[in-house]
């Protein structure tokens, strides 16, 4: 068996808001080719954990590494430049622009213009080509190539979530943090998103925060259950489903 490649890990992460430990001593690894789902009731600390990993919130204590880099204290922009892509619960697109323009803008955000290089303009064409190629690939991965000319705000809810993922992919991340990508979707849209995530996992390490338990049990290679900021189980989905403590605290009879 080949050894699993850890692309991101957190050790003993804690985040306190005053007296509340929203995330309490949480450790986890994200592996290439795996979807690591984090589930738990409202207020369990899932979004806070995601915000810690993306650098949007500083931890009270604990450490995070991305590849070989210890990233604690880095800004979200720097973490993003080193291969972390994050989608948010709230759709975050330019609604009057086309689908293609949104993805292209996201791809362009990765290209640093070079004001100190007087010959920089010579490379402009090559730079544009690279941006377009990256945007094209992200559109294809997200399954949006046939919707490129549509106005983003006029596309369906499901397509807008696909677009968000395409925009994240355009920055060429290796690790994806996905916060409720299926939220508000009908069944057909949800099924499309599940297929998209299965495609994406082959080239990424994915952290998935999701309330749709059918999707979670279809997608997850590893499952972490949080309650009140703490991890109460972290194992394969089969093992988690059979865990009496998890049944009692969260999953209930249904699963």
Ligand X SMILES: Nc1ncnc2c1ncn2[C@@H]1O[C@H](COP(=O)(O)OP(=O)(O)OP(=O)(O)O)[C@@H](O)[C@H]1O
The residue ranges that bind ligand X (CB under 6 A) are 17, 20, 22, 40, 42-48
Name which of 44 and 93 has its Cβ closer to ligand X: 44
CB of 69 vs ligand X, minimal distance in Å = 25
CB of 244 vs ligand X, minimal distance in Å = 22
Name which of 100 and 250 has its Cβ closer to ligand X: 250
CB of 156 vs ligand X, minimal distance in Å = 23
Q: CB within 8 A of 199, min separation 6: which ones?
A: 141
User: Strands 230-235 and 69-70: what pairing?
Assistant: unpaired
CB of 41 vs ligand X, minimal distance in Å = 7
Name which of 51 and 171 has its Cβ closer to ligand X: 51
Count of all residues that appear for the chain in the document: 255
Q: Where are the extended beta strands (E) located within 141-216?
A: 175-179, 205-209
Name which of 48 and 162 has its Cβ closer to ligand X: 48
Label residue 98 left, alpha or beta by phi (over 0 means left) and psi (-120 to 50 means alpha). Answer: beta
CB 155 within 8 A of CB 97: no
Name which of 47 and 80 has its Cβ closer to ligand X: 47
CB of 47 vs ligand X, minimal distance in Å = 3
């Amino acid at each position: 068996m080949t050894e699993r490649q850890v692309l991101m890990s957190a050790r003993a992460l804690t985040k306190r808001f005053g007296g509340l430990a929203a995330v309490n001593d949480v450790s986890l690894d994200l592996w290439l080719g795996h979807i690591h789902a984090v589930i738990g009731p409202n207020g369990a600390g899932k979004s806070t954990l995601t915000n810690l990993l993306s650098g949007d919130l500083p931890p009270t204590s604990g450490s995070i590494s991305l590849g070989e880099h210890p990233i604690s204290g880095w800004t979200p922009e720097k973490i993003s430049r080193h291969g972390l892509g994050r989608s948010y619960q709230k759709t975050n697109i330019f609604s009057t622009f086309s689908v293609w323009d949104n993805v292209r803008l996201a791809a362009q955000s990765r290209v640093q213009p070079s004001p100190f290089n007087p010959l920089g303009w010579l490379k402009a064409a090559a730079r544009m080509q690279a941006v377009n190629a990256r945007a094209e690939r992200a559109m294809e991965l997200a399954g949006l190539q046939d919707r490129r000319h549509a106005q983003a705000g006029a596309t369906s809810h499901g397509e807008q979530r696909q677009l968000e993922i395409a925009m994240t992919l355009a920055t060429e991340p290796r690790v994806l943090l996905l916060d409720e990508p299926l939220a508000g979707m009908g069944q057909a849209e949800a099924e499309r998103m599940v297929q998209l995530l299965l495609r994406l996992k082959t080239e990424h390490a994915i952290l998935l925060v999701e309330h749709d338990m059918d999707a979670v049990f279809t997608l997850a290679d590893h499952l972490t259950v949080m309650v009140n900021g703490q991890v109460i189980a972290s194992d394969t989905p089969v093992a988690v489903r059979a865990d009496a403590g998890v049944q009692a605290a969260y999953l209930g009879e249904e699963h």
